[in-house]
Amino acid sequence: MIRSPRVAVFADAAAVARSLARRVADAIRAKPTLVLGLPTGRTPLALYAELSRLHEAGEIDFSRVTTFNLDEFYGIPSDHPGSYRSFMRTHFFGRVNIDPARTHLLDGSAADAAAECERYERAIEDAGGIALQILGIGTNGHIGFNEPAPELEARTHRVTLKPETRRSNAALFGGREEDVPREALSMGMGTILQARAVVLLATGAPKAACVERVVNGPITTALPASFLQLHPDAVLMLDEPAAARLTPNS
Ligand code: F6R
């Protein structure tokens, strides 16, 4: 039986990052105009460091690569130090030779959020769709800012953030949870599932419980990442602590 998502377990977070960075490098070598979907958060930091290292070593040319980030806070300008635009500049875009015009993020200062979400969907379509979407996962099973809820949105949309999600982003706002915006704009589940390949990164013991449910549980809007079971080319790349609740055959 072909199971989705596939599961790949590595000794530690650094090994996960090295393996995915190699995959990204190979994909860019095969197609220099690759379209990547990217997450922010703590988990992908090791990946961005490794990709930057490979670029410095002359092994990856990002000059023709296009990127789309999953989400952005709503209600702050893109140059706000807590914005995901700023995060990406600090940890990745500012360290490689990517063309800033090819790095797409939702505009959290757009007056008309619905129009901004539509613009983003069109931009992804105009770029030919996302070839490889990289995801992190919240401990509540969210991907992008698609939070557990009775219903999920298919397309890019405006969301109200859960208290636990605002708490886990407090570091970007000087540790002050009350300064984390209450809303965000996020790709929808359909936007994510339309990527031709999806890689979900999860490292550390706090992710083990939701990883187990993503692999073995039912598909449910209470665990948005469970929808990856419907994707024909999705893989979970895990370190051992995040994989601790999986049995070898699960
Ligand atoms: C951020 C995003 C979120 C994070 C998730 C995990 O762009 O899409 O879904 O991936 O909150 O965050 P970390 O990696 O900080 O545990």
Q: Specify the CATH number for the domain of residue 231.
A: 3.40.50.1360
71 is catalytic: yes
The answer to whether 200 and 235 have CB atoms below 8 angstroms apart is yes
Residue 48 lies in a domain: yes
Tell whether the model's pLDDT for residue 250 goes beyond 90.
Answer: no
The CA distance from 234 to 105, in Å, is: 23
Strands 6-10 and 183-186: unpaired
pLDDT of residue 176: 96
| Digit-coded pLDDT (tens) for 86-114 | 999 999 999 999 999 999 999 999 999 99
The CA distance from 39 to 134, in Å, is: 6
Report the domain count for the chain: 1
**65 token code pair:** 């690569």
Residue 1 lies in a domain: no
Residue 244 lies in a domain: no
Q: Which residue's alpha carbon is nearest to atom 11 within ligand 1?
A: 138
Residue 249 lies in a domain: no
Cα–chain-centroid distance for residue 243?
19
Q: Is the minimum distance from the CB of 108 to ligand 1 under 6 angstroms?
A: no
126 is catalytic: no
Q: What 3-state DSSP class applies to 244?
A: coil
What is the pLDDT averaged over residues 193-222? 98
Ligand 1, residue 142: give the atom nearest the CA.
Answer: 9
Query: 188 C-alpha vs ligand 1 centroid, how far in Å?
Result: 15
Q: Which domain holds residue 23?
A: 6-239
More confident residue, 27 or 2: 27
